[in-house]
């Protein structure tokens, strides 16, 4: 792909793998995903291509894949039309969407702002209309945050619900395969194919919608005001959870420590031995990951063991937390590094719940603040992925489409 063509596609795609369909079985007539255009984050094995994980040093060591990752093959076998491989933040260790080697994909919904990452190319491919469905991954928010920033649908499934065979590992106890779509119908088709399930036609009966003041306290003031106004105008029956219900700052710190410890265990030797060149933001995170102590891990693990039953008890089997997934719209492209890092830290206070407890979360398009998208999301009980998605579709149709 020429530099000009790359620019025309908002920087979402890598040259390798653009428009080159991997070998696949001929899908039967009437396939579920016939005509659905598929983009794939460059962390998945794709037959006949190399997986670069956003870093040239990593790419140089990889062999050409002899078969595709399970999730890629399932979608192709279901009739999805290959579009290309998409840019990712380096080794997926970022939420900004910045890549020092391959560039920052341009946010089609807010051209002067970051797209979010690490599934940056995938979200941009969908938001710009080049793909209908795009695979990504979510460890600490890499589907949910960019979906909000770019105004598209996104889903992080329950941890362990979808096979990660053939997918790059960042932090094994948090990594999930996820995806973006421009509309709820395609998002649901992706879920049916990847979870080998069927979406219920109606939302879950007697679903309890909850709004928590701890979450609202983390939002940018304009976002909080817009959310409160929308709740009032929509007339939704919600249960209000008081401040002190969720220890979000403590939980986010536990997530940061455990994620960093797992990342260093997984990649520390490679980072030291290869001497890979990283962008400044990713390099600093690896440096911090190397300093995590066993005592920190023990303390964070103790907190995690409290979070999981706390959220399970709160949600039960019919409770759904309704919330913006991140505090506000994306930072501007020229925002100082300190501001981007602050946004990351504040976002993790909201994103950490799904990671620590392995819960499903669906992001749906909602509104614009200061000219840029901000999404809504539903966080639900573990393994209730079908119900979370069905309820999200219902909310969008009933309250957001007008």
Catalytic residue set: 41, 118, 142
**Are 324 and 219 within 8 A, CB to CB?**
yes
* Mean pLDDT of the chain, nearest integer: 94
Short-list 157, 184, 192, CA closest to 31: 192
pLDDT tens, position by position, 340-397: 999 999 999 999 999 999 999 999 999 999 999 999 999 999 999 999 999 999 999 9
Sheet of 81-86, strand order: 81-86, 37-41, 133-138, 176-181, 153-156, 361-369, 372-379, 319-323, 208-212, 238-241
**DSSP secondary structure of 146-169:** HHHHHT-EEEEPPTTSS--TTB--
C-alpha 218 chain-centroid distance: 19
Q: What's the CA gap between 91 and 328, in Å, rounded?
A: 25
Q: Worst-scoring range by mean pLDDT, 2-16, 137-151, 182-196, 214-228?
A: 2-16
Q: What's the CA gap between 252 and 263, in Å, rounded?
A: 16
**DSSP secondary structure of 79-143:** TPEEEEEE--SGGG--SS---TTT-----TTSTTB---SSSHHHHHHHHTTS-SEEEEEESSSTT
Q: What's the CA gap between 10 and 86, in Å, rounded?
A: 11
pLDDT at 222: 98
pLDDT at 270: 96
Interacting residues of 173 by C-beta distance below 8 A, sequence separation 6+: 159, 258, 262
Interacting residues of 178 by C-beta distance below 8 A, sequence separation 6+: 119, 135, 136, 137, 138, 142, 143, 154, 155, 156, 157
Domain residue limits, the chain: 1-402
How confident is residue 299, by pLDDT bands cut at 50, 70 and 90? very high
C-alpha 61 chain-centroid distance: 26
Phi, psi of 171 (to 5 degrees): -140, 110
How confident is residue 400, by pLDDT bands cut at 50, 70 and 90? confident
pLDDT at 3: 46
Phi, psi of 358 (to 5 degrees): 70, 30
Q: What's the CA gap between 194 and 199, in Å, rounded?
A: 12
pLDDT at 16: 65
Sign of CA dihedral 73, 159, 214, 330: negative
Q: What's the CA gap between 128 and 104, in Å, rounded?
A: 14
Protein fold of 1-402: Amidase signature (AS) enzymes (3.90.1300)
* Cut 0.85: pTM above it: yes
Q: What's the CA gap between 11 and 4, in Å, rounded?
A: 10
3-state secondary structure (DSSP) of residue 346: helix
Interacting residues of 73 by C-beta distance below 8 A, sequence separation 6+: 24, 67
Q: What's the CA gap between 76 and 322, in Å, rounded?
A: 33
Q: What's the CA gap between 175 and 188, in Å, rounded?
A: 21
Q: What's the CA gap between 90 and 118, in Å, rounded?
A: 8
**Are 327 and 219 within 8 A, CB to CB?**
yes
**Are 186 and 135 within 8 A, CB to CB?**
no
Integer-rounded Cα radius of gyration of the chain: 20
Q: How far is CA 47 from CA 51, 85, 223, 226, 373, in A?
A: 10, 12, 43, 46, 35
Q: What's the CA gap between 286 and 98, in Å, rounded?
A: 16
C-alpha 97 chain-centroid distance: 12
With a cut of 50, say whether residue 1 has pLDDT above it.
Answer: no
pLDDT tens, position by position, 20-61: 667 665 676 679 999 999 999 999 999 999 999 999 999 999
pLDDT tens, position by position, 200-226: 989 999 999 999 999 999 999 999 999
Short-list 119, 71, 76, CA closest to 94: 119
């Amino acid at each position: 792909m020429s530099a000009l063509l790359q620019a025309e596609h908002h920087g979402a795609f890598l040259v390798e793998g653009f428009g080159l369909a991997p070998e696949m079985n001929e899908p039967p007539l009437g396939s579920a995903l016939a005509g659905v255009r598929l983009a794939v984050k460059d962390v998945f094995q794709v037959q006949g291509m190399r997986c670069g994980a956003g870093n040239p040093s990593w790419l140089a060591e990889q062999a050409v894949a002899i078969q595709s990752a399970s999730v890629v093959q399932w979608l192709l076998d279901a009739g999805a039309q290959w579009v290309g491989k998409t840019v990712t933040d380096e080794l997926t260790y970022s939420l900004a969407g910045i890549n020092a080697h391959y560039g920052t994909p341009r946010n089609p919904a807010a051209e002067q702002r970051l797209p979010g990452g690490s599934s940056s190319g995938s979200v941009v491919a969908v938001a710009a209309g080049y793909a209908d469905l795009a695979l990504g991954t979510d460890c600490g928010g890499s589907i949910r945050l960019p979906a909000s920033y770019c105004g598209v649908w996104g889903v992080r499934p329950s941890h362990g619900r979808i096979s990660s065979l053939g997918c790059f590992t960042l932090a094994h106890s948090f990594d999930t395969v996820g995806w973006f779509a421009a509309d709820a119908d395609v998002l649901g088709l992706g879920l049916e194919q990847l979870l080998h399930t069927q979406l219920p036609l109606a939302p879950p009966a007697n679903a309890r919608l909850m709004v928590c003041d701890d979450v609202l306290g983390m939002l940018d003031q304009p976002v909080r005001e817009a959310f409160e106004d929308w709740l009032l105008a929509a007339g939704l029956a919600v249960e209000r959870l008081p401040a002190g219900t969720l220890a979000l700052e403590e939980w986010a710190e536990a997530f940061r420590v455990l994620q960093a410890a797992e990342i260093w265990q997984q990649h520390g030797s490679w980072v030291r031995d290869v001497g890979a060149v990283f962008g400044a933001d990713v390099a600093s995170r690896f440096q911090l990951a190397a300093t995590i102590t066993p005592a920190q891990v023990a303390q964070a693990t103790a907190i995690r063991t409290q979070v999981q039953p706390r959220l399970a008890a709160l949600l039960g089997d019919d409770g759904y937390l309704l919330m913006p997934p991140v505090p506000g719209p994306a930072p501007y492209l020229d925002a100082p590094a300190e501001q981007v890092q602050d946004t990351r830290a504040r976002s993790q206070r909201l994103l950490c719940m799904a990671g620590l407890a392995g819960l499903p979360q669906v992001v749906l398009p909602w509104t614009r603040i200061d000219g840029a998208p901000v999404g809504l999301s539903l966080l639900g009980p573990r393994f209730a992925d079908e119900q979370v998605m069905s309820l999200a579709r219902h909310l969008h149709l009933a309250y957001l489409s007008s």
